[in-house]
A and B are shown apart, each in its own frame.
Chain A
């Protein structure tokens, strides 16, 4: 599905990002795997994927909220002189607190990571994409919290909703130049992010789903692969819910 495509994935160290990295490699993609800090396990993981699937995986380390580090990372990607075919923005953070308890500092921090830094990084990467003669694709990972609201997720949900607004404008500006922009909105996915949620809350949510179970990270990765691939070449400006039909 992704043979010969070169793809930038942020937040590749863990959770959905790590699963996506593996899923993309198994489908033939070369990946710039972005993570905040180097670890031995991550380096080994990338090397193993390279050997197993005959692709290249280049770890790129930077703190998304550090402009200088980001610029250096973009330079690294650029200097490899490979066209960039897709950008998958997965890195993000959640900080839950009910509306009256959420501080402005928290909101600013969450927006910094989930919105501002992703927009800035996308500005740099789409500039590289404009030089790519082939069509390319950008995907942001939003959340059903952005669409439905969720108790305790004022900062998180708002930051993820901002991404949807940005995506729609980006699609209007860039789709005619060969860059498609879409958003996915995962529901309750079985990752560490949800480990902090009490089991009874999870059980209650499952009862409102058409598919009565949590989503798996690989079920998010497969949709990202579809959106990065040419199978979706006429899909742009969309929000795709991956939520098992939650109400």
Chain B
């Protein structure tokens, strides 16, 4: 068996119910991490997913259910994590929504909603978790952004802006928290095979894939492996960066 990269580490992953977050929980568990797997809605399938992973890899995988945009629920979730009395080594902010609409068609309501879920909610959640990391003098934060934040894409003005906000905040966090032993980096996935793709037409998806160097879409495991890299000591001298995982867009 190859070396486990997160042996004995404790990690929080948000948006674990589906897609990239779901895969990240599996990859992290396989690499020896204990995980608080955060999801919005309670489901027996997710409970048993966590139980199975825990058994398979001899780690703890604990589902934590809360609505990221409800501050009271966030506080309760943080409290339940603190009650476990374990150091928090890794935070992966993955939960988010996608939103496609042309510039002129983007309503205030959708702008608020997208920024709230993709930027403000993880920002506030990170404040709580980073406080725990500062106390012990180490930790790494991995924020899932998007290539849309770097490139700008048609129909993605608000989604891209919400993810660009994440990248900017991550850089500030890296500068403020580096001295306290905390690293912060972002991942910018390109076209990745998740439910989120359903917001795009097949033509657009295929065209985008063919414009990449590798001519292939990414998979959730590709993003999870990049998160593993940034969460682990493999990247101990990397902070404030954006890692594109996009097959060369």
Contacts and interface: CB of A to CB of B under 8 A. Distances in A.
Q: How large is the interface on A (under 10, 10 to 19, 20 to 34, 35 or more residues)?
A: 35 or more
Contacts of A230: 225
Interface stretch (A31-39, A106-114, A172-180, A195-203): A172-180
Contacts of A175: 212-215, 247-248
B247 A210 contact: no
Contacts of B178: 209-212, 244-245
Contacts of B222: 233-235
Contacts of B219: 234
Contacts of A241: 238, 241
Contacts of A243: 237-238
B245 to A, nearest CB: 5
B89 interface: no
B248 A172 contact: yes
A99 B212 CA distance: 38
A3 B248 contact: no
Given A172-B213, A226-B229, A240 B243 contact: yes
B226 interface: yes
A56 B236 CA distance: 28
A240 B241 contact: yes
A223 interface: yes
Contacts of B236: 219, 222
A244 to B, nearest CB: 5
A215 B237 contact: yes
B40 interface: no
Given A176-B213, A222-B233, A234-B245, A210 B226 contact: no
A126 interface: no
B2 interface: yes
B234 A176 contact: no
A231 interface: yes
A117 interface: no
B26 interface: no
Closest 8 CB pairs of A and B: A210-B178, A237-B248, A175-B213, A234-B222, A219-B237, A245-B240, A231-B225, A215-B237
16 contacts: A1-B3, A176-B213, A187-B237, A209-B178, A210-B174, A210-B240, A212-B179, A223-B238, A225-B234, A232-B229, A233-B225, A234-B219, A235-B246, A236-B214, A237-B213, A242-B237
Given A210-B240, A235-B222, A243-B238, 6 more contacts: A216-B237, A226-B229, A234-B219, A236-B213, A238-B248, A241-B238
Interface of A: 1, 3, 27-28, 171-172, 175-176, 180, 187, 209-212, 215-216, 219-220, 222-223, 225-226, 230-238, 240-245, 247
